[in-house]
Amino acid sequence: MRTETGQIFHLEDYAPADFVLERVDLTFELDPKDTKVEARLIFHRRDGVDPARPLVLDGDELTMTGLMLDQVDIPANDHDVTPQSLTLRNLPESAPFEVTIVTQIAPESNTKLMGLYRTNGVYCTQCEAEGFRRITYFPDRPDVLAVYTVNIIADKATTPLLLSNGNYLGGAGMGDGRHFAAWFDPHPKPSYLFALVAGDLGVVEDSFTTASGREVALKIYVEHGKEPRAAYAMDALKRSMRWDEEVFGREYDLDIFMIVAVSDFNMGAMENKGLNVFNDKYVLADPETATDQDYANIEAIIAHEYFHNWTGNRITCRDWFQLCLKEGLTVYRDHEFSADQRSRAVKRIAEVRHLKAEQFPEDAGPLAHPVRPDTYREINNFYTTTVYEKGSEVTRMIATLLGPDLFKRGMDLYFERHDGQAVTIEDFVACFAEVSGRDLSQFSLWYTQAGTPLVTASGTYDAARQAFTLSLEQMVPPTPGQPTKEPMHIPLRVGLLLEDGSEAKAQRIDGIEATGDVLHLTERSQTVTFTGIASRPVVSLNRGFSAPINLHFEQPPADLAHVALHESDLFARWQAVNAIAMPNLVAGTAAVAAGRPVECDATLIEALVAAAGDAGLEPAFRAQTLALPSEADIAREIGRDTDPDAIHEARRQVVAAVARAGHAVFARLVDEMRADGPFTPDAQSAGRRALRNAALGYRVAAEEDPAPVADAFAAADNMTDRLQALTLLCHRFPEAAETGAALDAFRRRFETDALVIDKWLSVQASTPGAGALERVRGLMGDGLFNANNPNRVRALIGTFAFSNPTGFNRADGEGYRFLAAQILDIDGRNPQLAARILTSLRSWRALEETRASHARAALRQIAQAPRLSPDVSDIVERILKG
């Protein structure tokens, strides 16, 4: 029995399974309402396990219609069966035995999208984390690895394509209108990597020759007619395969690699062995329908799932507490891939923006948990930005601490030592400790202590001694279940810039271990002295975001401007501009609340305008610099008693001030950054579009007339520009006739393309102001909305709750009550989706009192509803308690 009973799982309770699973043979007779699954499982009892111990298999909403032991029916008194479990007694003491289990399932009515379900007429599976138990009774845990043979039988006319993991063995017609196909996966794998897809789909084919000469067939399956839109995904796949060989020395290991794009999917994609299943949003792209962000996402996710073949599949997790072992590491790998394919600095800025926007609030709120949690009720709720993004940052810090050569040796050792195993974070870290001779035990606190460390810094320069002293203090805030914390090992990259912009080279660094430009902060408080510094330096701290921390370092705007102009690390330049902007935005918010005018520091305006106009910098970087901290960033900085309306207004006024001051530069950029040829999705062209659109945004901020944006909308020849113009129209001129006309034109043009309609829904759901809720309600009644499709729900309801601070946080609480009703409705069909959207309320305690009390009431309403799923009840209870 599991979470339905409110059971809590603990890391310390881990014990290996009593029975070893040797082989799995599955036969599926597919039918939408009545699929028959026959599982033949060969087990033997693990050495030393008490012969009296029964075999207990997991199930979830299963109906069993047959059960045999070595081909003989098992008598009633030798087994117990419920929809949730199957227990077998009187099994052989040590000899292998075969259990045959027949289950009946109904893919068509599986609205949870876990296990075997139907999407657009296609059979498809999702088994991670615990979906396989919705197909058959099984030891459904990641440390049970077995070799699978899969036979699929289906109607040939409606279901011509029959796919599963591994290599294709063969298939044939069966003479009764049905046909079958057989697949064999030689690589032992856990059940969560099982996949089956069957239906009628189009295909794009290519091939890849591995470094050692293996020819791999590549296939991407999409809805008929959408094949041309899979070209970019195919290209990204081939680049990923080559990159993993070149950078990590990892080759692909089957004769075929398949990707299937489906339109109903609970997340981005899934790395099933040899048969990745993707949300079609992360496969399909062409200039007409996809933005530059879509292209970048496709490239990153294709790479991510492919990279899992080694980090996740060949080496998997011992238990689900170790999820970051595969996810954090694989995110790190896909980040590095994108950095190599695009611009490293721009990629790093985007990563840090995302980390701060998503992970920092999680770590600072009631849902905070360690990168490796030690307890859970519902594992699906731990596919979090902490496990993924902070997990990646922890891997990045290992690379920073060790340097590239030792990091590579550690990775090589990990691959060599653990290939074919299900392992733990300790196993992973031990490889790096071993190759470097470093004690990583204090560093490992990053896996076990939740909360974003706060580092406070201050510096003094002694001209007589030519010495610069940097005082550093660290504090890790309390989080649920962890009231006190130990000091962490924090790698802080630092630069000291001299007046002429060059970098000071210290003769000595005392008081801390330093390797290259990395300071190893390991104590609560440390004083670092740099000697041989000829004049007062300007400090650039946490270069490259070397540690995922909050930094408290009061630097005069002039110093930050110096960093913004001269740092060799472009990321640090961006960080400095942000550090100039933030106090302006926070002070502006206080001014709005007090009815005072918002003032904007000249240094900020100068830094932004200078970066915007600096032709020596790449356009994508300049665009990133122009994007001021978001409203959510400002709210996080303020921390408590936040008023989203005041934040919105303050930011609007700061943007308008910059827009007025930089009018000429922005006007020039809109011209200069015009495309000089047909659309291409490469990073450089995307960067020009990003800068042009950022400049256009500032132009619009200083304008009262929607006509120029309406013109930009009409003139756009690609989705990036079109969507940006539409967003500016909606957000800046929500009531203008031009905006209504543009929304109608967009809808008419793309009404048959659900993925584009998601953008149309999102733009409207994110339009600021109290009117957003009525707009969202109206759109729910639109024929193009579909409450059963996760992408549609996320685009409309998810965007409203996560990305519309003023609309969602209406002072009268209507936004929260709306969300509560939606959560309960969605939960009845798809608990995972409901739980995910509910996390939009995770920062409710930071709101000012009136809003906070409305939010609490809405959360209580959810908590008290009958028949909550374990997913939603776990989230709502933690959000209310923490």
Q: Which chain residues interact with Zn ion by CB under 5 A?
A: 327, 330
Residues 6+ apart with CB under 8 A from 549: 452, 453, 454, 455, 474, 490, 542
Residue 634 and residue 805 in contact, taking contact as beta carbons nearer than 8 Å: no
Give Dmax (Cα) for the chain: 95
| Tokens linked to 57 | 């298999």
Q: 16-20: which pairs have CB atoms within 8 A and are 24 or more residues apart?
A: 16/46, 16/143, 17/46, 17/139, 17/141, 17/143, 17/144, 18/45, 18/46, 18/49, 18/53, 18/55, 19/43, 19/44, 19/45, 19/46, 19/49, 19/55, 19/139, 20/44, 20/45, 20/46
- Minimum distance from residue 130 beta carbon to ligand B3K (Å): 9
Which secondary structure element, helix H or strand E, spans residue 651, and what is its range? helix 644-661
Residue 726 and residue 736 in contact, taking contact as beta carbons nearer than 8 Å: no
The smaller minimum CB distance to Zn ion, of residues 301 and 655, is found at: 301
Pairing of strands 256-262, 275-279: parallel
Distance CA 545, CA 389 (A): 13
Distance CA 249, CA 694 (A): 39
What single-letter amino acid sits at 838?
L
The smaller minimum CB distance to ligand B3K, of residues 250 and 851, is found at: 250
Collapse the DSSP code of 323 into the 3-class scheme (helix H, G, I; strand E, B; otherwise coil) and give the result.
helix
- Minimum distance from residue 311 beta carbon to Zn ion (Å): 9
The smaller minimum CB distance to Zn ion, of residues 314 and 493, is found at: 314
383, interface contact from Zn ion, ligand B3K, none, CB < 5-8 Å by kind = ligand B3K
270, interface contact from ligand B3K, Zn ion, none, CB < 5-8 Å by kind = ligand B3K
Choosing from 130, 223, 299, 305, the catalytic residue is: 305
- CA-based radius of gyration for the chain: 28
- Minimum distance from residue 448 beta carbon to Zn ion (Å): 21
Distance CA 435, CA 444 (A): 16
**Footprint of ligand B3K on this chain (CB under 6 A)?**
128-129, 267, 269-271, 304-305, 308, 327, 380, 383
- Minimum distance from residue 433 beta carbon to ligand B3K (Å): 26
| Tokens linked to 338 | 């994108």
795, interface contact from Zn ion, ligand B3K, none, CB < 5-8 Å by kind = none
How far, CA to CA in Å, does 522 sit from each of 395, 440, 473, 546?
18, 11, 10, 15
The smaller minimum CB distance to ligand B3K, of residues 145 and 780, is found at: 145
654, interface contact from ligand B3K, Zn ion, none, CB < 5-8 Å by kind = none
First to last CA, the chain: 27
The smaller minimum CB distance to ligand B3K, of residues 269 and 367, is found at: 269
| Tokens linked to 381 | 């709720």
Residue 875 and residue 854 in contact, taking contact as beta carbons nearer than 8 Å: no
578, interface contact from Zn ion, ligand B3K, none, CB < 5-8 Å by kind = none
- Minimum distance from residue 330 beta carbon to ligand B3K (Å): 7
Distance CA 423, CA 839 (A): 30
- Minimum distance from residue 322 beta carbon to ligand B3K (Å): 13
Is 486 among the residues known to form the active site?
no
- Minimum distance from residue 383 beta carbon to ligand B3K (Å): 5
| Tokens linked to 401 | 């601490």
380, interface contact from ligand B3K, Zn ion, none, CB < 5-8 Å by kind = ligand B3K
The smaller minimum CB distance to ligand B3K, of residues 218 and 270, is found at: 270
The smaller minimum CB distance to Zn ion, of residues 31 and 327, is found at: 327
Residue 776 and residue 800 in contact, taking contact as beta carbons nearer than 8 Å: yes
Distance CA 633, CA 581 (A): 11
- Minimum distance from residue 364 beta carbon to ligand B3K (Å): 24
The smaller minimum CB distance to ligand B3K, of residues 128 and 363, is found at: 128
722, interface contact from ligand B3K, Zn ion, none, CB < 5-8 Å by kind = none
Distance CA 528, CA 612 (A): 36
The smaller minimum CB distance to ligand B3K, of residues 321 and 383, is found at: 383
600, interface contact from Zn ion, ligand B3K, none, CB < 5-8 Å by kind = none
The smaller minimum CB distance to ligand B3K, of residues 383 and 844, is found at: 383
Cis peptide before 129 (omega within 30 of 0): yes
Residue nearest to ligand B3K (CB): 128
- Minimum distance from residue 360 beta carbon to Zn ion (Å): 21
Residue listed under structure tokens 């075997």: 116
732, interface contact from ligand B3K, Zn ion, none, CB < 5-8 Å by kind = none
The smaller minimum CB distance to Zn ion, of residues 271 and 643, is found at: 271
How far, CA to CA in Å, does 100 sit from each of 140, 143, 681?
16, 21, 52
Distance CA 361, CA 357 (A): 7
Residues 6+ apart with CB under 8 A from 706: 729, 732, 733, 736, 738, 739
452, interface contact from Zn ion, ligand B3K, none, CB < 5-8 Å by kind = none
128, interface contact from Zn ion, ligand B3K, none, CB < 5-8 Å by kind = ligand B3K
- Minimum distance from residue 267 beta carbon to ligand B3K (Å): 5
292, interface contact from ligand B3K, Zn ion, none, CB < 5-8 Å by kind = none
- Minimum distance from residue 270 beta carbon to Zn ion (Å): 8
Residue 607 and residue 580 in contact, taking contact as beta carbons nearer than 8 Å: yes
436, interface contact from ligand B3K, Zn ion, none, CB < 5-8 Å by kind = none
Q: Quick count: other Cβ atoms within 10 Å of Cβ 676?
A: 7
Distance CA 448, CA 445 (A): 5
The smaller minimum CB distance to ligand B3K, of residues 244 and 305, is found at: 305
What single-letter amino acid sits at 266?
N
The smaller minimum CB distance to ligand B3K, of residues 381 and 685, is found at: 381
- Minimum distance from residue 308 beta carbon to Zn ion (Å): 6
Distance CA 279, CA 265 (A): 5
Annotate 624-654 with b (16+ C-beta within 10 A) or e (fewer): bbbebbbbbbbbbbbeeebbbbbbbbbbbbb
- Minimum distance from residue 234 beta carbon to Zn ion (Å): 20
How far, CA to CA in Å, does 116 sit from each of 111, 307, 693?
10, 25, 43
Q: Which residues are catalytically annotated?
A: 305
